Structure 1
Amino acid sequence: MPQPPRRPAAFAVTALMLTSACIPSPDRAEVGRSAPPTRAGRPGAAPAPTATGAAATPSVPAPPPPAVSEDAPPSPPPAWQVRTVTPSAVDVPSSVYVVRSGDTLRGISEKTGAASEAIARVNDISPPFKILVGQKLKIPGGRYHRVGKGETGIAIARAYGVDWLRIAQSNQLEEPYILREGQRLLVPSEVEVARMSPDERAAAFRVDIEDLISGSEPALATREQPKPPVTTPRTVAPTVAVAEPRSFGGRFDWPVKGKILRAFGKIGSGQTNDGINIAVERGSPIAAAADGVVAYVGRDIPAYGTLVLLRHGDGWISAYGYADSITVTRGQKVVRGQTIARSGASPYSAEPQLHFEIRNGLKPVNPLSYLPSRG
């Protein structure tokens, strides 16, 4: 059985400005710089709705809250609903800045309005990000949003009427995808937004797993650190960013036993299954496939029903859809084999089953390549 490759944990560029997300390393380039994953084709998904106005939301009925077992407290609303964002981006012209005594990239960012990460990239400045007095720095022009404490990528994207993955790609954000207060993000210009198609506008108000992974955690204060996971079921405030494990244990197990109803990959009609669907009797326990931390519990993606996301460290994530009830909460530490939910059925099919995914960063991989053989 192929073992998931161990990758060094990605670090925020705190040495640069203590307010940044990561600049992609070469082995993550396909995640940070590739085109955003297609929104077409999710497990049993209905056709995606469209909107015609920049601030229009898709006409998707609000799903009911997930059933919660007696072992877990009810989940609070997600962070992007608790803290909405008012658009306040500033247009920054391209220019040249001459470094003065006492300057830092953080300080130059404050003076010019451009993101320090963008300044570093365009000037080929690498860690530890040293700059010299008299050095001429290119200041990349653009429309920059200054992140406030508690703001999420999803909420920022909705404020400007664009897809969050588009912003994440433009800023080459990387794991752990936790923003910092004062960090500046390049957002599409008003002209670009005006030229967007109706489907592109609608995408800004749809949430997908890629959004939950990269844009759902609230921004931290400048020197604040993510909170360690709790060891027992307990409500973690949506305004608190949760730390993921430092490293992956290197092993996944089957979350349930049952035949595979739908395999990984293309399933026709332009749709793709990002995981596998496993037949299982309704109400059966769903086990954590590996040690980890609960990153998300909710129903914000209708096609997945009640969904649980676990972070396992080194960018590895597992997803469990179609749950009938849940036994864990966001921020809770779990161990491999621990019951995290009870199985249900697809929102678009009455057949009891579990939708299960394994992701390496934003990229879904075939779970069968990482699970033990059942033969």
Structure 2
Amino acid sequence: MLIKKLKTFVSLIIALPFVLYLLTLAGCVSAPYEQPTGKVFKPAVSGTYHCVQKGQTLWRISKIYDVDLDELTRINNLSESSTIEIGQKILIPGKKSVRQASANSFDDFIWPIKGQVVGSFGQTSSNMVNKGLNIKPYSDNNVIASRSGKVVFYSDSFGVYGKTVIIDHGDGFSSVYARNSEVYIKPGDAIEKGIVIAKAGSAGRDTNIYLHFEIRKGSNPQNPYYYLSD
């Protein structure tokens, strides 16, 4: 009886590979090298790495290589609150060589006020999404133009934003400066980057003093961190 059982067991072991082969052909068993349904191997992104230099912004780097800014942030897994640092390596997709550009190659945006960021792009507060940065001044409340352009809007009471001014930069971009206690420019004025245009203040029931600053491409708010140069 024992010998008969052993023979049956051995027969099953010998037949097992053939049975698995038939099941694989029938689609009942996946071959060991196949990925689960819905998962596909993706090749690594080819390109070159750019080493961030002093004063460079992610926007400037995208211009140097003629790469879409959104694609650059996605491929490098940069979050909305990310800032790039000197020496950081940024993958440039589809490019084979590193390019150089002079410090003044592009008219970068500069920080509109010296202070602490107390509200970042994309943050939600009181059911409102922050479309820019809230910057609390260190000591000097003077607000400067982040980039050269022309004043296209001013309101001394723009809802929760209070005194607000918008500068059009002529290339599809504009910058917004809100929550000012004083504004020194008016619609139609030509503005040079770096001049004092306002003084940061408060607005509405919020008595905290800080500047609300936005960068827009068309009517779409952009992440200022990607554009602001130190």
TM-score range for the pair, normalised by the shorter chain length: 0.5 to 0.7
In structure 2, the CA distance between the partners of 1:268 and 1:255, relative to structure 1 (3 Å rule), is closer
Structure 2 residue aligned with 1:251: 108
In the alignment, which of 162, 171, 174 is matched to residue 317 of structure 1? 174
Distance 2:212 2:126 in 1: 19
Native 8 Å contact 2:149 2:191 kept in 1: yes
Distance 1:303 1:355 in 2: 11
Distance 2:107 2:220 in 1: 17
In the alignment, which of 161, 179, 187 is matched to residue 330 of structure 1? 187
In structure 2, the CA distance between the partners of 1:261 and 1:288, relative to structure 1 (3 Å rule), is same
Distance 1:269 1:355 in 2: 16
Note the alpha carbon deviations across 1:106-141, whole angstroms, 9 max, x for none: xxxxxxxxxxxxxxxxxxxxxxxxxxxxxxxxxxxx
Once the two structures are TM-superposed, the CA of residue 291 in structure 1 deviates from its matched residue by 0.5
Distance 1:322 1:282 in 2: 16
In the alignment, which of 118, 131, 134 is matched to residue 274 of structure 1? 131
Note the alpha carbon deviations across 1:261-289, whole angstroms, 9 max, x for none: 10000315542000000001687211000
Residue ranges of structure 2 left out of the alignment (5+ in a row): 1-56, 69-105
Distance 1:308 1:262 in 2: 19
Q: CA RMSD in A?
A: 2.4
Once the two structures are TM-superposed, the CA of residue 297 in structure 1 deviates from its matched residue by 1.3
Amino acid at match of 2:205: Y
Amino acid at match of 1:363: N
Native 8 Å contact 2:179 2:210 kept in 1: yes
Structure 1 residue aligned with 2:58: 2
Q: Which has the higher strand share?
A: 2
In structure 2, the CA distance between the partners of 1:258 and 1:330, relative to structure 1 (3 Å rule), is same
Distance 2:131 2:161 in 1: 11
Native 8 Å contact 1:281 1:343 kept in 2: no
Amino acid at match of 1:365: Q
In structure 2, the CA distance between the partners of 1:268 and 1:302, relative to structure 1 (3 Å rule), is closer
Distance 1:253 1:288 in 2: 8
Amino acid at match of 1:328: I
Distance 1:298 1:361 in 2: 20
Q: Secondary structure of 1:250's match?
A: coil
* Equivalent residue runs for 1:103-142 within 5 Å: none
In structure 2, the CA distance between the partners of 1:283 and 1:305, relative to structure 1 (3 Å rule), is farther
Distance 1:308 1:282 in 2: 22
Q: Which has the higher contact order (CA 8 A, sep 6+)?
A: 1
Structure 2 residue aligned with 1:342: 199
Distance 2:170 2:204 in 1: 30
Note the alpha carbon deviations across 1:212-252, whole angstroms, 9 max, x for none: xxxxxxxxxxxxxxxxxxxxxxxxxxxxxxxxxxxxx6310
Native 8 Å contact 1:257 1:280 kept in 2: yes
Please state if 1:356 is matched with 2:189.
Answer: no
Once the two structures are TM-superposed, the CA of residue 310 in structure 1 deviates from its matched residue by 0.2
TM-score (norm 1): 0.33
Residue ranges of structure 1 left out of the alignment (5+ in a row): 7-26, 28-248
* Equivalent residue runs for 1:1-375 within 5 Å: 1-3=57-59, 250-268=107-125, 270-280=127-137, 284-373=141-230
Runs of 4+ aligned residues of structure 1 deviating over 3 Å after TM superposition are none
Native 8 Å contact 2:151 2:165 kept in 1: yes
In structure 2, the CA distance between the partners of 1:371 and 1:329, relative to structure 1 (3 Å rule), is same
Distance 2:138 2:179 in 1: 12
Once the two structures are TM-superposed, the CA of residue 3 in structure 1 deviates from its matched residue by 2.1
Amino acid at match of 1:340: I
Q: Secondary structure of 1:265's match?
A: coil
Distance 1:261 1:352 in 2: 11
Distance 1:257 1:283 in 2: 8
Q: Secondary structure of 2:225's match?
A: helix
TM-score (norm 2): 0.53
Distance 1:295 1:255 in 2: 18
Distance 1:339 1:266 in 2: 28
Computing the radius of gyration from Cα coordinates, the structure with the larger value is 2
User: What is the identity percentage for the equivalent residue pairs of Structure 1 and Structure 2?
Assistant: 32
Q: Secondary structure of 1:3's match?
A: helix
Amino acid at match of 1:2: L
